[in-house]
Amino acid sequence: MSLAEAAVSLGVHYQTAYRWVRRGVLPAVKVAGSYEIDTGDLEALRRDRRTPEPPPQRRQVRSFGRFADRLLADLVVGDEAGVRELFSDLVEGGVSLAEVCDQVLSPALRAIGERWSRGELSIAVEHRASAICERALARWAPHPPGRPRGVAVVCSPASEGHELPGLMAATVLRGLRWRVHHLGVGVPADSIERLVADEGADLVVVSATLPETLGDARELVGRLRAPGRRVLLGRPGLTMSDLAAAVSAPEPGPAAPAGGSSEGAERRLPSNPPGPSSPALQSSPALQGDPAGPINGADRPDPGAAQAWGPG
């Protein structure tokens, strides 16, 4: 059937149905310049929209420390199979991807970084460890089936060379049913800006790791802001649990200036229950109204720091 017929059948405006096609929510093929919709796909979308999501089966882990230690040991000796097995155990056991990233992967990577900076691990071992993590994580980042929540772009300023935090963000967002375009690192700002517009992104996540790239990251955030689009900036001290909470939080209200009020986001976020697995929610200076966060500490006190975190 045609897209116009599908829109009528779903009881939505033609433009809404068109947007769903563009975002991959409603599969369609182009025949002689017009979209054709399969009735099976239409019915699947109708069912999806009616069915509430089942609550996820959660696994309570009291201490993640031993998993982080196990991961670190596997990474140091390059045991990729061991790393994959550990990830599978955790994710299939019901641990959220955000927790795996924040509580297991990040501590192990930080330990790798510390050992490398003390000269105890070679650059080769550190590179091997990151490559193993990338491959292991990518396995958990397929495009989600069903109707996505929206379109997200995950990127970093061109000066940033750390790709893993962005990959973590992409993985977590896909797990939350976002359709994610993950651009990796080294992409010029102009090109990111174009892609964000072309894909009609509802959400952009900019990830920065080095203090030196934070300025570029903020500039990028500023460029990517647009009405109806949230732009979040992540950096050390913030976590994937923060990201998950932020994208689940309501969008800025009508009182917020175009593109959202970062200050509003700062105030709103602490009201998200800070789970035991989300220490940054309690400790992040950005969330406590102190702009001198772990990165900003090396920076000038920055009244715009709040913007680094809030919706754009």
- Which stretches of the chain bind ligand B12, using CB under 6 A? 101-102, 106, 109-110, 112-114, 117, 126-127, 130, 134, 159-165, 168-169, 205, 207, 209-211, 232, 234-236, 238-240, 242-243
Q: Where are the beta strands (DSSP E) in the chain?
A: 29-31, 34-36, 151-155, 179-182, 203-207, 230-234
Nearer to ligand B12, 37 or 68 (CB): 68
Q: Minimum distance from CB of 195 to ligand B12 (Å)?
A: 18
User: How crowded is residue 150: how many other Cβ atoms within 10 Å of its Cβ?
Assistant: 18
Q: Minimum distance from CB of 79 to ligand B12 (Å)?
A: 17
Residues 6+ apart with CB under 8 A from 134: 163, 164, 167
Nearer to ligand B12, 106 or 261 (CB): 106
Q: How far is the C-alpha of 281 from the C-alpha of 58, rounded, in Å?
A: 20
Q: How far is the C-alpha of 86 from the C-alpha of 137, rounded, in Å?
A: 11
Q: Minimum distance from CB of 237 to ligand B12 (Å)?
A: 7
Q: How far is the C-alpha of 4 from the C-alpha of 204, rounded, in Å?
A: 30
114 within 8 A of 289, measured Cβ to Cβ: no
Facing residues of 181 across strands? 153
Nearer to ligand B12, 146 or 188 (CB): 188
Nearer to ligand B12, 6 or 240 (CB): 240
According to DSSP H, which parts of 100-139 are helical? 106-117, 123-138
Q: Minimum distance from CB of 238 to ligand B12 (Å)?
A: 4
Q: Minimum distance from CB of 211 to ligand B12 (Å)?
A: 5
Facing residues of 184 across strands? none
Q: Minimum distance from CB of 117 to ligand B12 (Å)?
A: 4
194 within 8 A of 204, measured Cβ to Cβ: no
Q: Reduced to 3 states, what is the DSSP secondary structure of residue 152?
A: strand
237 within 8 A of 296, measured Cβ to Cβ: no
Nearest residue to ligand B12 by CB is 234
Nearer to ligand B12, 21 or 75 (CB): 75
Nearer to ligand B12, 207 or 307 (CB): 207
Nearer to ligand B12, 163 or 266 (CB): 163
Q: Minimum distance from CB of 85 to ligand B12 (Å)?
A: 21
In which region does residue 37 sit, left (phi positive, over 0), alpha (psi from -120 to 50) or beta (all else)? beta
Helix (H) or strand (E) holding 233: strand 230-234
Nearer to ligand B12, 27 or 116 (CB): 116
According to DSSP H, which parts of 118-261 are helical? 123-138, 164-175, 189-198, 214-224, 240-248
Q: Minimum distance from CB of 275 to ligand B12 (Å)?
A: 14
